[in-house]
Every structure is written in C-alpha cells, then in structure tokens.
Amino acid sequence: MSAVRGEFSSRFGFIMAAAGSAVGLGNIWGFPTQVASNGGAAFVLVYLVLAFLLAYPALMAELLIGRFAKANAVTALRKVASGRFSKNLGTATGFYGIVVASLILSFYGIVAGWMLAYWMEPLASLLGLRDGLVHSLGAQLFFTLLFMLGTILIITGGVKDGIEKWSSRLMPLMIMILFLLIIYVFTQPGAMSGLKAYLIPDFSRIGDRELIISALGQAFFSLSLGVGTMLIYGSYISKQENLPVLGGLVTMIDIGIAVMAGLLIIPAMHVALENGVEIFDASGALLAEDALVFTVLPALFDSMGFVGTLVGFAFFALMSIAALTSSISMLEVPVAYTVENHGITRSAATWWIGGVISMISLLVILNFERFFGFIVTFTTQFSQPLLGLMLCVFVGWIWHRDGILDEIKQGNPDVELGLFWKIWPVYVKFICPLIIVMTFGNTLFG
C-alpha cells in the first residue's frame, strides 16, 4: 500500500480535472458529429435530457463511491459491498473498468495523434517538410507515441503536481480558444444558416430509437462514466466538499462545452459550404465523423488563405488539448490501482502501463481495419453502459442506504432535507438501471 494518497488541493483543481476528463474529443468532435448525423437540434434536446437525468446521477454514484473508499475502483467496490459474492462482484467490476479504461486510451491516443499531426502541419510546411508528410503511417505512429508520452509525463507527476496542475492550466486555455474560434466563425458568411440548422429541431426525429441510443452512449462517454475515472477522481476529493454541487458543476461544464462546440462546428460547416466545400454526402445528409473533421474543416481552412492557417492551427490545438486532459484521467485508472494494491512506485507503474497501452495503440494502427472499430464498439457502446449499470447496482442495491447518507452528508450536512436526497436514491436504484437496460437491450438485440 502506498503511504500517502494524493488529494486535489482545491475545489477549482478538482473541477478543472474532472471537467478536463469529461471534456474531450467526445465533446468537440463526437457531439457535433452526432448532431450532424442525427437531425440537428433534435439530438441536442434528447442529449440534454439524458445527460441531466441519467448521466448526472450515474456520475454522482461514481464520485460518492470513490470519496467514501478513498481508493481505486477494485478496492472501493469491495469496500462498498458486504457479502462474499458482492465483494467478488466488486473485484470483477473494478477490473473490467480498468481494462476498458486502458482500451479506451489505446484508441483515444490514436485519434489524438491525428489531431497532433494536423496541429503540427503548418509548422511542418514552414520547415519545408514534404506536403502530407505528417499524415504518413510513420507520422501516425510518431504522433500517437508523442501524445502518449505527454500523458505519461503528466501522470508521473501525481494528483496535485500532475493531473491538477495541468488540468488547471490547460482547461482555461482550451475554453479561451473555443470562444475565439466561435466568434471568428460567426463573422463569416454562411454561419447563420448553420446556426439555424443547429438550433431548430426536427421534432419528428425526437422519438427515434437510433437517436436515443446514440445520445445515451454519447452522454456516458462524454462524462467519462463507468470505467472508474470519475470514481478515482472522486477518491481524491476532500471530505469537506459538497459532492452533489461539484458533480453538478462538472456536468454543466461538460454539457456546456459540447453545446458550444456544436455552435462552432455546425456553423463552420455552413461557412465551408458558402466557400464551395462539399458538406453533404450522396444521400443529402451532412458529412459526419472523420470526413467532417479531416476533410470538411481542413478544406474550409484552406479556402480562407492565411487566416485559415491560423484558425486551423488553433482548432487542432483545441482538439489536442481537450484530448490530453481526458487521456490523463484514463491512464490514472490502471496506475492508481497498481500503485495502491501492488506497492509499485507511481513512476514505474505509469511508464510500464503507459508503455503497454502505447504498444497496443501501435498494433491497432498497423491493423487498423481489423481492430479500431471493434475496440471502439466494445468499449464505448457495450462496456461503458454495462459498467454504468453495475455501478448503479452497487450504489442502489448493495451499498447500505445509511452508509451512503453518511458519506454524502460530509461537506453537505443538510442534504437529507434537500431535493437531491429525495430524488437521487430512487433514481440510481430503479430508473437509471431500467433506462440503461432498455437502451442496452436495444443495442444488443435491436
């Protein structure tokens, strides 16, 4: 066991770290992409409802378990459980989360590597490097490793001097770049028609099954749920803090930045249209996913001349920074477990685990068609909802209600009288599991 556990030094530090974990490629790429392919504002509406009603209660479950146990997911879930069976279930769930967090990092590092490559492209051409060099296979391997190296270096610094310090620096910077980009795009012709497409919902799509399933998956991914990241960050919060409020703030920042990112990307696509860039596919739907980020937007930046180079530079910086504050939270999950339960030093654990995950990333890059899609689906569509369900079961059915109340009262002595305590326990016990099972069943058998 390690001697002293890390702890966030301030409320601001925790909020930046947890919001940093939550705000990532899922917000700035995933969310606008989903909006583009799921009927614009209809998706935004369903997403807002699911994020507040489902993801927030699940986030609270993780933060509470973490802060109660002050330990990694495996130990924490065992501590919440009382019987032998539920303790073993805790071990299994904790391990499953650790594996999934590591696998998410392995594909996330690849995508983040692409962002780094696009970020560095203008510099590479200034240096006179061959056009397109940053997109070669060699460069992909290089930038993924570079990104993983950054992640590893921050995590070797520990909770306060690594995670908290870097999240507190990078998050405000990221938010500033986002705002500047939005302001710039709004001054461009075409932006307003994009804004309309983004804000006016096509109500006929709101009940769409696909749309609801996508929105649920997106909400879970975006709040970093299920895999133990929020649990471990929760374990580093002081007992004096009011958890429902902190969790609420993190949820609002996460949702707010996703909505802002939509405000950037959807209008930017229409600006691109105005500049003669193709933004619809053969069936008339908005281009989405990789075509959006790696074809439409670069074509837009190209069409804007020198300013476009600057805007592109800022945009891919934004993506890379957002990815980094998330990737560190993923790596912290296996590292915290190894340090706490196997007595290995943080730096050795980080280099080893980070090294193994980097190797997996390289293997995936070299066998992209075979592995990439599979890992994304297995982790985000299958495992995250399943793990989210397990965590709700632990809080709703296994952990004693008095224990939960004792924990939540710390930093919030009057919680029993408030709305949160009236609603939330019923929620995690019945409603969250039910909705997850229903949508999950749909994913599996639908």
Q: Which residues contact ligand PHE by CB under 6 A? A: 21-22, 24-27, 104, 221-222, 224, 227, 229, 326, 329-330
| CB 25 to ligand PHE: min, Å | 4
Written as one letter, the residue type at 345 is T
Between 63 and 104, name the residue whose CB sits nearer to ligand PHE: 104
Which ranges constitute the DSSP H helices of 70-164? Answer: 73-80, 84-126, 137-156, 158
Question: What per-residue string of b and e applies to 218-238 under the rule 16 or more CB within 10 Å gives b?
Answer: bbbbbbbbbbbbbbbbbbbbe
| CB 224 to ligand PHE: min, Å | 3
Between 77 and 81, name the residue whose CB sits nearer to ligand PHE: 77
Which residue has tokens 């609801």? 212
Whole-number Å distance between alpha carbons of 34 and 36: 5
Between 36 and 104, name the residue whose CB sits nearer to ligand PHE: 104
| CB 98 to ligand PHE: min, Å | 12
Between 17 and 286, name the residue whose CB sits nearer to ligand PHE: 17
Between 93 and 329, name the residue whose CB sits nearer to ligand PHE: 329
Between 289 and 406, name the residue whose CB sits nearer to ligand PHE: 289
CA distances from 245 to 219, 265, 308 (A): 19, 30, 40
Q: How deeply is 106 buried, as exposed, middle or buried, from its count of CB atoms within 10 A (0-12, 13-18, 19+)?
A: buried
Q: Is the dihedral of CA 175, 177, 183, 189 positive or negative?
A: negative
| CB 374 to ligand PHE: min, Å | 17
* Cβ 300 vs Cβ 272: under 8 Å: yes
Q: How deeply is 79 buried, as exposed, middle or buried, from its count of CB atoms within 10 A (0-12, 13-18, 19+)?
A: middle
| CB 426 to ligand PHE: min, Å | 27
| CB 376 to ligand PHE: min, Å | 11
The residue among 232, 227, 164 whose CA lies nearest residue 10 is 164
Between 267 and 388, name the residue whose CB sits nearer to ligand PHE: 388
| CB 229 to ligand PHE: min, Å | 4
